[in-house]
Structure 1
Amino acid sequence: MITKHNRTRLQQNLSLMTKATVLLAMFVAAGGVPSAFGQSTLTSELVFPLDQRHNHAPGIVELENGELLVSWYRGSGERKADDVAVYGARKPVGSKTWSDPFRMVDTPGFPDCNTCMMIDRHNRLCLYWPVIIANTWESCLTFYKVSDQPTGKGSPEWSDGGVILLKPEDFGPKAIQVLDEEIAKLPTQLADAYSTELSDLRELLTQKLYQRLGWQPRCKPTVLPSGRILLPLYSDTYSICIMAISDDDGAHWYASKPLIGFGNIQPAVLRRDDGTLIAYMRENGPRKHIRVCESKDDGITWGPVTESVLVNPGSGLDGVRLKNGHWLLVYNDTQKGRNSLAVSISTDEGRSWKWTRHLERQEEGSYHYPAVIQGSDGTIHVVYSYFVTGGKSMKHASFDEAWVQQGKKD
């Protein structure tokens, strides 16, 4: 039996619960959510203070103990600067700041450039990067290092490493065919203006040396349900892509068929539920849109390279499949300049992009070459090159899907 006293107390409790619910709803609408509900606010910070040296092309992983590790290259330039080395920094669990940068890899006398990383199924850290042999992109070889116990302070202790040598089947005739088809679509005057360059490209496409050299990484590997590792690589010699494939946890590698679009580089690979692989690529030509290519056989062969609806100014991108099956892409959403860095989400495996929100949207500066992962707690982590008037750094941003969904909806 409910007495008058109990009824009054019940009404007071219900009133308090209603107020709490309203306050929580207001808090959520304002962009703040308690950690138990996720992180629908954006948190960002520089990995290290602005630096006058060239700091560029990051990778990011979450280690087994929950700490974040970021890699990038640093030096007085890029391929032409022999002092360039791979650096890293750590962010321990619960910390708001990053460790001081430390050197992870240095090949004395040669530039070490674009970095990417992964944690394999044995919880080993794998780092991939190109060593530039003759100060040209065409002369690079992709190297790797493996750490069995990557946690701790400073650089991981490396237990294995080497070079990924690829011997693709001769793709010259097919590539020349695609090149001629692309040229036929161009205005005659434009094609004539580049006749010397096109003649040189045709010659390079017939040479084994350049088919086997010059492949370098940018985006993280994709691991298929079978355990197959696809390490996306690209060639600035030809402006095309290829996949380095390993079916034995990285002990041996072989080459896929190339993704030939003459302007498509730096692929990020996502997998649909039906097994189709989609490669999203930087546009390095005149189209000003992200390039796309599909594989139906786990990355061995690839279809024609086409264009997506998403714009691109000639800048790197990255993507991740979220735990709920949604896809997330980070890219510069302009046709010129790198001063706007967007995050878009697809709920239909890349067929459309429903929400977009910006990590950066400034009048000046370059915010580019993102690397993205989703942590074990569901938090999305993006690290990207941050270039402003005062210097260069890496910037780290963390958020969840709800933060993106508060942005523009298509």
Structure 2
Amino acid sequence: MTATSELPADGRLRPRRGGGWAAYLPTPTVQCHAANLAWLPGGDLACVWFGGTQEGVADISVHLSRLPAGSDTWLDPVVLSGDPTRSEQNPVLFSAPGGQVWLLYTAQVAGNQDTSEVRRRVSRDGGRSWEPPTVLFPAGGGRGVFVRQPPVVLASGRILVPVFNCVSVPGERWVGNEDTSSVWWSDDGGQTWTEAAVPGSLGCVHMGVVVRQDGSLWASFRSRWADWIWESTSTDDGTTWTEPTPTPLPNNNSSIQAVALGGGVLALVSNPTSAADATERRVSLYDEIDDEGIREVDGPQVAEPQIDPDRQTAFWGVPRAPLRLSLSPDDGRSWPVFLDLETGDGYCMSNNSRDGLNRELSYPSVLPGPDGDLHVAFTYHRRAIKHVHLPADLVAGLLAAAR
């Protein structure tokens, strides 16, 4: 296993075993996490993630790097957020109607996700410069709001932004036990928004929306219970949703992402593990943080949680590996073909990046290229963002097997 200190984090794409190319993006911070890929106007490939000392600390900010069209090397990142009082996380880039590029991200106080609001910055020159941030979806009513997956624009022009709601429980610190999902939709280009709650979505988060061939919507969810990837559908442009139900695909209470490749084929990247594969359990996502928001990173903060037998609780600590690409030929109804992009033990009983304790391969973003190729970016041990570029012939072979 390659030590993270030895990674060639120079952004250069190099041939990878199994075909295609891979690069470790230039990442100057101790911790890096939660990548998202997007195409920018003009053809550059962009990647955003959050970086800093450690998740939940106020020096966590959004970073953006770009791979210029025709180039084999990612550029040094620029920092796009800098609130000294909040941890700014889960960035998403979105090509909005009218030629705008939106950056959406979350801003929370320390490890308290129930304080999170969703902020937006707008670029009118293809991501070169950005307007000051504004609050798109505020916290309130006992819940914080988080984004993770890209917005979707429907044929009608409606914009859908899937979110998850981090709900406060009186007398308890947030640990994810009461989280639910919603979709915010706008029919006027993002000027006004209406929330559509997903019924029965307790424990279903990181909702991602895909448009099926028949125009209906299919959504996939990460599970706080670390059991399965869950799914829901909508037949009225996201105004209402069915209650989520489990798929046969395992989930480890870590992020997934799915995208349509055309012709009813979907690509999904995830960790195919669950609580059934775990030998240890963490109290929560976050290591200890003191009153000033400074994370204690001297070692794993692991203890036996107090579990109420009459209440389902979030499961943290399932290994976040391998990182798997799965393909569906029928709009997400079956997943007969898969390819493991990266393997390892996926240890994630601590988020400590300073001492290299975390070895997760997680939080994938998957994006089709213009020539039938496929791009994936993900967290590598929380010390780097790795980009894998699969060529069109390799993807075509997988698609042929899926069909």
If the length of structure 1 is used for normalisation, what is the TM-score? Answer: 0.73
CA distance 1:404–1:341, shift in 2 (3 Å)? farther
The residue that corresponds to 1:147 in the other structure is 123
Q: Percent identity?
A: 29
| 2:218 counterpart of 1:240 | no
- AA aligned to 1:337 is P
The residue that corresponds to 1:22 in the other structure is none
CA distance 1:239–1:401, shift in 2 (3 Å)? farther
CA distance 1:129–1:219, shift in 2 (3 Å)? same
Q: Secondary structure at the match of 2:114?
A: helix
Please list every run of at least 4 consecutive aligned residues from structure 1 whose deviation after the TM superposition is greater than 4 angstroms.
404-410
| Unpaired segments ≥5 residues, structure 2 | 1-17, 168-177, 275-317, 347-358
Match of 2:387 among 396, 402, 405: 396
Match of 1:70 among 25, 42, 47: 47
- C-alpha distance in 2 between matches for 1:339 and 1:120: 33
Q: Say what the alpha-carbon RMSD is for the aligned residues.
A: 2.3
The residue that corresponds to 2:23 in the other structure is 45
The answer as to whether partners of 1:278 and 1:294 remain within 8 angstroms in 2 is: yes
- AA aligned to 2:217 is L
- C-alpha distance in 2 between matches for 1:402 and 1:295: 34
- C-alpha distance in 1 between matches for 2:105 and 2:138: 15
The answer as to whether partners of 2:185 and 2:193 remain within 8 angstroms in 1 is: yes
Query: Where do 1:63-102 residues align within 5 Å?
Result: 63-79=40-56, 81-102=57-78
Match of 1:374 among 351, 368, 374: 368
The residue that corresponds to 2:325 in the other structure is 343
Query: Where do 1:253-292 residues align within 5 Å?
Result: 253-286=193-226, 288-292=227-231
What CA deviation, in whole Å up to 9, does each residue of 1:251-276 have, x standing for no partner? 22221123433221101111112222
1:362: how far off? 2.2
Q: Secondary structure at the match of 1:291?
A: strand
What CA deviation, in whole Å up to 9, does each residue of 1:279-317 have, x standing for no partner? 10101115x110111112111111111000111111101
- C-alpha distance in 2 between matches for 1:340 and 1:254: 38
Aligned residues: 319
The residue that corresponds to 2:343 in the other structure is 361
Query: Where do 1:210-225 residues align within 5 Å?
Result: 210=142, 213-225=143-155
| 2:187 counterpart of 1:209 | no
Higher helix share: 1
- C-alpha distance in 2 between matches for 1:135 and 1:309: 32
CA distance 1:323–1:275, shift in 2 (3 Å)? closer
- AA aligned to 1:75 is G
What CA deviation, in whole Å up to 9, does each residue of 1:140-196 have, x standing for no partner? 111111101125xxxx311364212379xxxxxxxxxxxxxxxxxxxxxxxxxxxxx
- AA aligned to 1:123 is G
The residue that corresponds to 1:316 in the other structure is 255
| 2:218 counterpart of 1:227 | no
If the length of structure 2 is used for normalisation, what is the TM-score? Answer: 0.74
- AA aligned to 1:109 is T
The residue that corresponds to 1:36 in the other structure is none
Decide which moves more: 309-318 or 359-368.
359-368
The answer as to whether partners of 1:166 and 1:254 remain within 8 angstroms in 2 is: no
- C-alpha distance in 2 between matches for 1:248 and 1:291: 30
CA distance 1:160–1:325, shift in 2 (3 Å)? farther
- C-alpha distance in 1 between matches for 2:29 and 2:119: 27
What CA deviation, in whole Å up to 9, does each residue of 1:110-163 have, x standing for no partner? 111111111123332111111114651001111111101125xxxx31136421
- C-alpha distance in 2 between matches for 1:361 and 1:407: 19
- C-alpha distance in 2 between matches for 1:71 and 1:217: 13
Q: Which of 1 and 2 has greater Rg?
A: 1
- C-alpha distance in 2 between matches for 1:402 and 1:307: 33
CA distance 1:53–1:161, shift in 2 (3 Å)? same
